[in-house]
Amino acid sequence: MTKEKIEYYRKLGLKMTPQRLAILEYLEGNTSHPSAEDIFRHVEEKFPSMSFATVYNTLEALKERGLILELSIEPGKKRFDPNTEPHHHMICERCHKIFDVFEDFAVNLPEKYTKDFKVKRCEVVFYGLCKECQEKEV
């Protein structure tokens, strides 16, 4: 991680420990939408004495600062997305891989829903089977 990036996180009020740096490095450019458990397992290899609470607290701090998105698109499991640009997702119902979709879809809610509610953002989630899982069906 570059010194500029570390300084950027410090200016946002994040204490930069070696464990937190490892978490940030793992998340940077990561498109697998890892869970907190996934992140913990990865970073624990380098820091065996690190606690799960360190991962969880780091994710919460990043979420509060708008640096990651928390996805609740898989029942009982939160995933994290370091790409905070507006986008949608496709989820394979068999292997649970999550894919980003960077196309816009017109979602026009009837006025009865928007009359008393201001929509700030919208996320469309597609559920189905990825190519690999489709090939396993044949």
Q: Looking at the structure, tell me whether residues 60 and 96 fall in a common domain.
A: no
CATH assignment at residue 15: 1.10.10.10
Q: Looking at the structure, tell me whether residues 76 and 26 fall in a common domain.
A: yes
Q: Which of 62, 81, 100 is the last residue of a domain?
A: 81
Q: Looking at the structure, tell me whether residues 75 and 27 fall in a common domain.
A: yes
Q: Looking at the structure, tell me whether residues 76 and 18 fall in a common domain.
A: yes
- pTM more than 0.85: no
Q: Looking at the structure, tell me whether residues 8 and 48 fall in a common domain.
A: yes
pLDDT band at 137 (very low <50, low <70, confident <90, very high): confident
pLDDT band at 2 (very low <50, low <70, confident <90, very high): confident
Q: Report pLDDT digits (tens) over 109-136.
A: 899 998 999 888 888 999 999 999 999 9
Overall domain count for the chain: 2
Q: Looking at the structure, tell me whether residues 63 and 108 fall in a common domain.
A: no
Report helix, strand or coil for 3. Answer: helix
pLDDT band at 107 (very low <50, low <70, confident <90, very high): confident
Q: Looking at the structure, tell me whether residues 31 and 73 fall in a common domain.
A: yes
Boundaries of domain holding 39? 3-81
pLDDT of residue 81: 96
Residue type, 128: G
Q: Looking at the structure, tell me whether residues 13 and 69 fall in a common domain.
A: yes
Cβ atoms of 76 and 83 within 8 Å: the answer is no
What CA–CA distance (Å, rounded) separates 113 from 109?
6
Q: Looking at the structure, tell me whether residues 93 and 68 fall in a common domain.
A: no
Q: Looking at the predicted structure, is the pLDDT value of residue 42 above 90?
A: yes
pLDDT of residue 75: 80
CATH assignment at residue 118: 3.30.1490.190
What CA–CA distance (Å, rounded) separates 37 from 43?
10
